[in-house]
Amino acid sequence: MKKSKLILFSIFIFCISFLKLNAASFNLSSSTYNVSPNGSFTINLGGDCIGRVDLTISNGTLSTSSVWVEQQYITVNVTAGSSGVVTITATPVTGFSDADANLYNPGSRTVSVNISSNSSSGSSNNNGNRPTIPSIKKSENNNLKNITINNGELNPSFNKDTLEYKINLNADITKININAETEDSKAIVEGTGEKDLKPGNNFIEIKVIAENGNEKIYKINAYVDETPEVYLDYNKEKIGIVRNYEGVNIPENFTKEDYTLNDKTISIFTSEHLTLIYGLNEKKEKSFYLFNKEKNEILNKFTPLNINNHIIYIIDKESERNGVILKTIKINETEVKCYEFKENNNYCVLNAINNEGKNREYLYETSENTIQLFPDFLLKEKKNKLNINMIIYICIGLMLIPLTIIIYLIIKLKKDKKEKNEIIETNEVLSNTEIQEESNNIEDKKIKKRGKKNEKTN
C-alpha cells in the first residue's frame, strides 16, 4: 500500500514538473513560405514568455531589429530580396523569462522563405497549412512618468505633456546625470544617463518609444553659466577669456588647446609662430587677441580679414605717420582701423602681421576692394619732397638773414644821420642864442658905463 502511494505521488510530482517545464513557449512563424522578388510578407514571434528579442535577416530587410514580447505575439514586416532565400532569426536576449519571471532560455528560432517569381506575397497561413495567429493590440503610450536630474532644477516643473525644459547650472558644472521613467512599462527610453556639458547651451533629447512604435521626444536645454573666469588687462580695460566657442570661426592653420592661467584652464589657439585667445571686452564684444605665453599678457587685438580670398591678420597697433587720419572702416562686414590719406580718401593703410608674427603694412583701395603690400617708394617720395622743401626753406632763410641785416643797417644809418643833423641844428640854434646873449650883455655893460659917466659929469 505504501509502495503504491509512493508511486502515485512520484507520478503527480512528475506531471506537475512536466506541465511547469512546458508552460513557457517561444515561437517564430512566417505568413508565407514563398514570396515574389522584392515582395513583402510578415513574421510572427512570441508565446508565453517575456523579454526582448533581437532579429537578424539575410537577403531582405526588417521593419525593426528588435521587439519586446510579453505573453503575446508580435508581427514584423519583412521585404524580400530579388532572388534566393530570405532567412530570419529571432534570438531572445539575456534576461528573457517565462510568465512567472523565471529565467527562460529557449534559444534562437529561424524561419526561411523562398523567393520565387511565381509566388504571391499575399499568400497567408503558410500555404493554408498554418493557423492564423490573432493579432494583439499594442500599447501606444509614449509618455514619461518623471524626469530626474542630479544638478539643477527643471523649469518648468515636469509634466508629461510638456516637451521642452531648461536647466540653469553654475560655471563649474561639467556633467549631468539624467534619468527618466515611463508611464507604460512596455515603452522604451533613449537618451538618458550621464551627459558631458560645455559652457553655454547644451541640448539634450529623451526619446520615448511606445510598444506600437510611436515616438515622443522630450527636450532639455542645460545652460551652463559662460561668464569668463579669467580676465587680462589690455588698453585700460578688462578682457575676459571666453569659455563658449560655439559658432566661433577659428582662423585657418590654428588649433585649439588647453592652457593653465591663474590656476584655471582656458583655451588658446596656436600656429607655428602665433598664439591667440578669444576674449570679451567690457562692451561685450568678442574678438581674437594676440597672446604672449611667456608674459601671460595680451599684445594686440587680432582680426582675420579675407579680401578676395587673401587672408591677412589686422592688428590694432597704432603708427605715427604724416598725411593720414586713423579711421574705423568696414571691409566685408568686418570693422577694422585704417590710416586714410588726407589728400585721397580712396586709399588707406592697414597694419597687419604675417604667419611668422612680423609686421606688414597693406595699401587698401576702397572702391575696388583690393589690397597690396604698402609700397615703400610712396614714403620715400614723401621724404624726398620733405627734404627738398627743407632745403628750400633753409636757403630762403639764409638769404633773408643778410638782407635783413642790410635793411637794418640802412635804417640805422638813416636814423643816425637824422639824429646828427638834429644835434647840429640844435647846436647852431644854441650858438646863435649865446652870441645874441653875449651881445646883449656887452650892450648892457656899455649902457651902464655911459650912465656912470653921466653921473660923474653932473
Q: What is the pLDDT of residues 9-36, one digit of tens each?
A: 555 554 444 444 445 788 888 888 888 8
pLDDT at 412 over 90: no
CATH class given for the domain over 25-136: mainly beta
The structure's pTM equals 0.48
Please, are residues 255 and 220 in contact by the beta-carbon 8 Å criterion?
no
Over residues 161-186, mean pLDDT: 93
pLDDT at 191 over 60: yes
Quick one: 362 exposed, middle or buried, by C-beta within 10 A (0-12, 13-18, 19+)? buried
pLDDT of res. 17:
46
**DSSP 3-state percent helix, strand, coil across the chain (nearest 5):** 20, 40, 35
pLDDT of res. 322:
75
Please, are residues 163 and 216 in contact by the beta-carbon 8 Å criterion?
yes
Neighbours of 265 (CB within 10 A): 11
pLDDT at 180 over 90: yes
Residue with cell 579680401: 307
pLDDT of res. 431:
62
Return the top range by mean pLDDT from 23-27, 183-187, 407-411.
183-187
pLDDT of res. 218:
96
Is 328 or 452 the better-scoring residue by pLDDT?
328
Quickly state the pLDDT bin for 454 (edges 50, 70, 90): low
Nearest-angstrom CA–CA distance, 125 and 449: 191
pLDDT at 320 over 50: yes
Q: Closest Cα to residue 209, out of 222, 192, 195, 196?
A: 192
pLDDT tens per residue across span 119-169? 544 444 444 444 444 556 789 999 999 999 999 999 999 999 999 999 999
pLDDT of res. 124:
41
pLDDT of res. 214:
92
pLDDT of res. 159:
95
pLDDT of res. 122:
44
Quick one: 393 exposed, middle or buried, by C-beta within 10 A (0-12, 13-18, 19+)? exposed
Please, are residues 49 and 97 in contact by the beta-carbon 8 Å criterion?
yes
pLDDT of res. 225:
92
Is 375 or 124 the better-scoring residue by pLDDT?
375
Least confident of 28-37, 215-224, 423-432: 423-432
Lateral strand order in the sheet of 144-149: 144-149, 175-182, 193-196
Query: What would the grid cell of residue 91 be?
Result: 534570438
| Domain extents in the chain | 25-136, 144-224, 231-374, 381-419
Is 384 or 108 the better-scoring residue by pLDDT?
108
